[in-house]
Structures are given as structure tokens and as C-alpha cells.
Amino acid sequence: MPSPAPLTDRAALARNRARSRPGALFLHQAARDEVEDRISIVNRQFTRPAIITGHPDFWRDLLPDAVVVPDDEVLALVPGAHDLVIHAMALHWANDPVGQLVQARRALAADGLFLGVSLGGQSLQELRATLAQAEVALTGGLSPRVLPMAEIRDLGGLLQRAGFALPVADSLTLTATYSGTLDLMHDLRAMGEGNALAARHRMPPPRALFARADALYHATYGLPDGRIPATFDLITLTGWAPDASQPQPLRPGSAQARLADALGTSEAPLDE
């Protein structure tokens, strides 16, 4: 069975990331804050951490003793060598996200913690919609211009498929405002989040595309002050490498008390 076509042009992604500016990485700062909050509430001292990221200069000082590796298709992590693995703002560009998570789990020692932060499916929904509407109106066709990103339910399911215990996925919605569509796109380039889709068109877009998209953006989503909003869906994934010491679900039918008694209600049989 042939392998699916890759989603991401890894060479283009590397070029985009190399052109990013530290001052524009506000999404990474929000992701880092989420990671720090979660580490702070875990009653454990992590001594063998690892960080997977496409922006090592930003993330390296989060945990000074951490092993920092790029989000390559094959992760440069030793199996069972870490008690904490952080996948930092790179999973949305993965051609094989399940493979990334499986490798992260294998890099963990028993009862080790995985934390992943990624952009989710609601990110840039306004830009995606207005670019598509403008391009269809101008050319009658549609080009891949905004990365498709997974929804929180899908990412939570990937944690389970990768074999993590106690998987949890939650989201944080952030909104930034811009003077216009080009201002937003310049900011995305400065973050290293420009178009690196493998199926993107290499030819320059029609000259009128972005002007039309900007007009649609303002007309559909514009704010009273004349600016436009951009939604960023930050999804945090948490899971543990399986271990016998972790809480285990009870077998169905093994309960020792009735739920109706605990709730103080009467129990009525279902109709046949």
C-alpha cells in the first residue's frame, strides 16, 4: 500500500523557522506558560527531561538540563531515557503525528510524563475562510494556503492510540488583532508559521487575491475599531508512560455500592 503524500514540506518549514524572530513568538510564550503551569502542579522533580521543538533557542532555557531535539520524522531520543518529554509547538506540522507521539512515549521511562502543546483546528479560521472565499471568486479554484490542524477530540484520540495512560487534552483560545490581513500574514512569517504545505502552489498568487481577502475579512470579522481578529487554538496534551503504580479502572460490575444510593435518588428499572 503506497504511503500517503506528506502534508509538510520539511525543507520549506526549516527555511520558515530560520527566518522567525524571537520577538514574534508570542504563541510559543503562551505555550511555555501552559507547560510551566502543568509542571508546577505535578508533585515530582524531573531530572531527565527532553524537549522536542523546531525553535530550540526559545525553548532551551525552560529546563536548562533538558535534551533538546528537532521534530524530525525520527526523533533523536533514547528509549526509556527520560522522565519528562515536552513536544513544543511542532506537532501541527508533523507528517505522522501518531508516530511522533509513539516515539515520545518510547523515550519515557515508566510513569514518565508527556506534555505536548500544538496549534489546533480553530486556529486561523477567519484567515482560512476569507482566503478561500476570495480565491474561489477570483479563479474558480482553491489552493492550500493555511495548514489544516487537528481538532482537540482528534488529538486526544491520538494520545490513546500512542499508548499513553491517563490521557488528557484541553484547549486555550487566544485572540490577537491586526490592522489587516497582510499584517497578520507578516506576523505568521515572523513566527515561522508561513505556508510550508507540500501541496502549496509555487506560482505567485493573483495580485488581487490578498486585497479581496482583506476586504472580506474586514466585512465579515472586522471589529468596531477597524482592526481584525485572528483566533489561535492552543491545545495541550498530557499523558503518562504506563506503569503498574498508576490508578487503574475497575472491571465493569465490580462496584460495591449503588450509584443511586450515593446520589440519594430512587432507581427505576428501564422498560423492556
Give the chain's domains with CATH numbers.
10-243 (3.40.50.150)
Distance CA 30, CA 34 (A): 6
Among residues of the chain, what percentage have pLDDT more than 90? 79
- The answer, yes or no, to whether residue 231 has pLDDT greater than 80, is yes
Distance CA 235, CA 142 (A): 28
pLDDT tens per residue across span 188-223: 999 999 999 998 888 888 889 999 999 999 999 999
Summarize the confidence of residues 47-68 as an average pLDDT: 96
pLDDT tens per residue across span 178-189: 999 999 999 999
Q: Which three cell numbers stand for residue 102?
A: 509513539
- Map grid coordinates 475562510 to a residue: 129
Res. 254 pLDDT band, cuts 50 70 90:
low
Q: Which three cell numbers stand for residue 246?
A: 498508576
Q: Which three cell numbers stand for residue 62?
A: 525552560
- pLDDT score, position 264: 72
What's the full length of the chain, in residues? Answer: 272
Distance CA 107, CA 200 (A): 33
Q: Which three cell numbers stand for residue 203?
A: 506560482
Distance CA 63, CA 143 (A): 40
- The answer, yes or no, to whether residue 1 has pLDDT greater than 90, is no
pTM of the complete model: 0.88
Res. 253 pLDDT band, cuts 50 70 90:
low
Find, among 239, 84, 89, the residue nearest to 161 by Cα: 239
Distance CA 231, CA 122 (A): 7
Res. 263 pLDDT band, cuts 50 70 90:
confident
- pLDDT score, position 245: 83
